[in-house]
Amino acid sequence: MANDRRKKRRIKYPASIGDSYELYNGVKIPCVGFGTYQVDDEDDAIRSVHTAIRMGYRHIDTASYYANEKCIGHAVNSCGVPRSSLFVTGKVWNTDRGYETTLKAFDRSLKELGLDYLDLYLIHWPANPKQFREDWITINQQTWKALEKLYADGLVRAIGVSNFTPKYISVLMETAKMRPMVDQVEYHPGLMRDETIEFCGEHDIMIEAWSPLGRGFMLENPTLIELGRKYHVSAAQICLRWELQKGIIPLPKSVKDYRIRENADIFHFEISHDDMKKIDSIERVPAKHNPDTAIFD
């Protein structure tokens, strides 16, 4: 099947939150990540990351746009788990795209985080023709060139993109020395992005899912609630397990301890083929932002 990355990669389902996938450059990336968007309270940020790590998460996702890098870095550095056992992702924001500006933005992020390197660095959003007219191609290619330099210099272990559709990835690949290793996109049962999943599968680009619970509204979906009762789990666990069985890395976010624990507890059951199909047939909903039309400050 086109959107079954697990079959594409010929791997078994991850058996625990400590399991990893392997990116095409050989770097291991944990199968579930911990999102930190809108976790901007210092105490909440540090406590939630500490809780997540204590519960087995080893994959922490942040970005300069989230304005919490200092807190996230403090949590990573004080959690008691060796840095080499953690996978930390950062992102360059739209106002810093370009070659020199991306390199400077990365340096600022590294200092804010208090880290010597990042495991993954992403272009947060593509520059699009609506906002940048004919310059969008050059901006994206120059930003990617900066990420390739960071990778070559050993400051990041893997590089990728976020919110990129095949059109934008293809433009990068016209001048790139290497293709992206990851594409992080909004993905959940109501928004499956078939074309992007197909393209990334063909090019061995790992998909990560931001907003894997559909910003919370998927938790009220009758199909997910019904299946939760059947498997004796929550609708959120059904949603995350569905993504896991698609071979996609979910990045759930919460500051509540019981939610953080619940979101990690998705390895003790398996959704049947027929029930996976039921979830696949859930009515689609609009994306929060369209990369072709989104304009950010």
Catalytic residues, by residue number, are 66
Assess contact for 176 and 144: CB atoms under 8 A.
yes
Calpha distance 229→30 (Å, rounded): 28
| Ramachandran sector of residue 247 (left: φ over 0; alpha: ψ -120 to 50; beta: rest) | left
Half-sphere exposure of 71 (CA within 13 A, CB side): 22
Q: Which residues are CB-neighbours of 44 under 8 A, at least 6 positions away? A: 255
Residue 183: phi and psi, rounded to 5, are -130, 115
CB atoms < 10 A from the CB of 232, how many?
A: 9
Q: Which residues are CB-neighbours of 281 under 8 A, at least 6 positions away? A: none
CB atoms < 10 A from the CB of 291, how many?
A: 18
| Ramachandran sector of residue 73 (left: φ over 0; alpha: ψ -120 to 50; beta: rest) | alpha
Residue 187: phi and psi, rounded to 5, are -155, 130
Angle of helix 99-113 versus helix 69-78 axis, rounded to 10: 50
Calpha distance 133→103 (Å, rounded): 24
